[in-house]
Amino acid sequence: MTEQPTGHDAIDSFSNENRTFPPPAEFAAAARVSDGSLAAEADSDPEAFWARQARELIDWQVPFESVLSWDLPNARWFDGGRLNVAENCLDRHVRAGLGDRVAIHWEGEPGDTRTISYSDLLDEVSRFSNVLRSLGVGRGDRVNIYLPMIPEAAVAMLACARIGAVHSVVFGGFSSQSLIDRINDAEAKMLITADGGYRRGEVFPLKPAADEALGATPSIENVVVVRRGGNPVDMVEGRDHWYHDLMEGASVDCPPEPMESEDLLFLLYTSGTTGKPKGIMHTTAGYLTHVTYTHRYVFDLRPESDVYWCTADVGWITGHSYIVYGPLSNGCTQVMYEGVPNHPGNDRFWDIVERYGVTIFYTAPTAIRTFMKWGAEEPARHDLSSLRLLGTVGEPINPEAWMWYHEHIGGERCPIVDTWWQTETGGIMISPLPGSTTTKPGSATFPLPGVGMEVVDDEANRVEHGGGYLTLTRPWPGMLRGIWGDPERFRETYWSRFPGRYFAGDGARLDDDGYVWFLGRVDDVMNVSGHRISTTEVESALVSHPSVAEAAVVGASDATTGQAIFAYVIARGGAEVDVDALRAHVANEIGAIAKPKAIFVTPDLPKTRSGKIMRRLLRDVAEGRNLGDTTTLADASVVGELQRRASEASSED
């Protein structure tokens, strides 16, 4: 059953997943896209295709004159046009008579709720826009946002967009040092934060962390503080202001600023594996077109009837594109939730789905694997029949996790869209269209209409079947426009490895039917006796064993084979893990070459705060090195525990 790798592939591949899921007939019959016509239109003239999306999906104050100017790596989309993003997300829906439609069903972790209509949101954003102006913020100024998952986060972002200021959101779980670096790099004028927010049943303080940062951020002139946690905070006279005090006297009248298509909309910092965080730049019209288009077609959105829920935090690009800008531009109703999935119980998400009648649910593979660990009884306690479509983003989804999601959350009736994209791409690039694409568990399937993608080998030759490097062959509207303050790093990081192409840093394989299978970050690819083996495939083989919920593998240097595979696994819902049986299982699933040399059972894995496994740290542990930079780690205690287990294991043999 094991396919032999051909040897000269840039990345070898052993996977043999071949289950297929055509769109359910009923779903396809009602879907926005149920055939290949959109793809055919886009293929015949990609620029004309994107121009049509921009004209149809966006309201323009002044129509654009040109579609694209491209001087690698610099793209300009929809030049000559004028528009305002907040106007597209709010005013146009209210003008169309949809002011009473719920924009956000917000739920706090303690169970408090707010129902915010499009007119409510427009009023709140307009007032806060006036507040920003009254504190001296204007076009082009940078504003830092450091908030929990409360509606004010969306309000603050949209208010910046309304007056032409540039927001830079820093995830509320980041430390004061991360905040310092990001504020100073952007030279932000204002910080918007909260006293604190709720997480795991407790208030986590934000203003005190912000205060620590503020001693080292000379550009900040004013701090606006939202009251959420009720925790005590120090307010500095003249600098710090309560949000509710400022809002009390603010006028609801604030005409949206006419912005140029290529005006900067926001910066979002990504840490990457090395070096200082990069301020990824996104501009106005192309970004808005891209997220509106993808949110509408990938999620088969019916704004008049769907209840959409994306579980990301607004501090990540997923929160920017698929909580704030895409959904609001499309005028849909969504759920926004403040807290963790296991408060007060492990079924909190399913309780929310049931109570709000969520129809579209978008989450990360790491969350799905956690749900697998908690067991299928949790969703089984709730009526999830409102769901009609599921999505995933953030990492490759293991076929077993896909099947669990399909069965236990989707009731075997909901299509799943596995959406591949990056902070840098702005919006979804590779994904099924749920009414027309036959899916395979674990494959992101095909590039969306309008997107140019090719897999290439080390010499930049196109790969038709097999493993290689994922590249994007032409500019797209939502693409990053640069790295703030560092054009050379922009060219070098994304546009230099393969001439004429954008290199995403991901390995990918094309199967015989042309489906894309992501193989993980190329920096993580392992080299065992000359075979280039993807971490994703070995992890998926491990997760396909009934005793395993989650797995991370790394290549650690080995005197005989170059690298040897080390695996870290988390048991599924109380199961016993038999390490020898598991090694044999991997050999049987994908081949002896991929059999881990050692497997460690662990209660937890080191992850970034957005849930991605940090394999670099596991490599450090496996090779007995001191740990490098751990500042982006969500829970630092995890690695200490792994080190303890590793040293115990090595003293055992």
**Nearest-angstrom CA–CA distance, 347 and 350:** 5
394: contact with ligand 7RM by CB under 6 A:
yes
Which pair of tokens denotes residue 400? 């077993």
Q: To the nearest 10°, the Cα dihedral for 403, 407, 409, 411?
A: 140
- Per CB under 6 A, does 226 bind ligand 7RM? no
Distance CA 516, CA 61 (A): 39
Beta carbon nearer to ligand 7RM, 5 or 394: 394
Find the shortest distance in angstroms from Cβ 164 to ligand 7RM. Answer: 26
Cβ neighbours of 136 (radius 10 Å): 11
Nearer Cβ to ligand 7RM (108/432): 432
Q: Which stretch binds ligand 7RM (CB under 6 A): 193-201, 228-236, 502-510, 522-530?
A: 502-510
- Which span (35-43, 167-175, 178-186, 419-427) binds ligand 7RM, by CB under 6 A? 419-427
- The 451-490 contact track toward ligand 7RM, x by CB under 6 A, reads ----------------------------------------
| Cβ proximity to ligand 7RM, 196 vs 432, nearer residue | 432
Select from 18-26, 28-36, 78-86, 412-420 the region that touches ligand 7RM (CB under 6 A): 412-420
317 part of the interface to ligand 7RM, by CB under 6 A: yes
User: Which of 395, 454, 524, 550 is the binder for ligand 7RM (CB under 6 A)?
Assistant: 395
Decide if residue 504 touches ligand 7RM (CB under 6 A).
Answer: yes
Binding of ligand 7RM by 506 (CB under 6 A): yes
Q: Where are the beta strands (DSSP E) in 403-540?
A: 416-418, 453-456, 466-472, 482-483, 502-510, 516-521, 526-528, 531-533
Task: Say whether residue 315 binds ligand 7RM (CB under 6 A).
Answer: no
Name the percent of the chain in helix, strand, coil, to the closest 5. Answer: 35, 25, 45
Binding span for ligand 7RM by CB under 6 A among 104-112, 192-200, 403-411, 500-508: 500-508
Q: What minimum distance in Å lies between the beta carbon of 261 and ligand 7RM?
A: 24
The binding track of 521-540 with respect to ligand 7RM, each residue x by CB under 6 A or -, is x-------------------
Which part of the chain contacts ligand 7RM (CB under 6 A), choosing from 113-121, 183-191, 335-343, 499-507? 499-507
Distance CA 63, CA 54 (A): 10
d(CA 361, CA 336): 12
Residue 178 binds ligand 7RM, judged by CB under 6 A: no
The helix or strand, by DSSP H or E, that contains position 259, with its residue range, turns out to be: strand 259-260
Cα separation, 183 vs 177, whole angstroms:
10
Residue 439 is classified by DSSP as B
Give the whole-angstrom CA distance, residue 413 versus residue 275: 45
Question: Helices then strands (H, E): number in the chain?
Answer: 22, 30
Which residue in 51, 444, 567, 642 binds ligand 7RM (CB under 6 A)? 444
Which of 446-471 are b and which e, b meaning 16 or more Cβ less than 10 Å from the residue's Cβ? bbbbbbbbbbbbeebeebeebbbbbb
- Name the DSSP class of 46: H
Residue with Cβ nearer ligand 7RM (419 or 471): 419
- How many Å apart are CA 617 and CA 417, to the nearest integer? 30
Half-sphere exposure in the Cβ direction for 187 (13 Å, CA) = 4
Q: Which residues bind ligand 7RM (CB under 6 A)?
A: 270, 317-318, 393-396, 418-423, 444, 504-506, 518, 521, 610
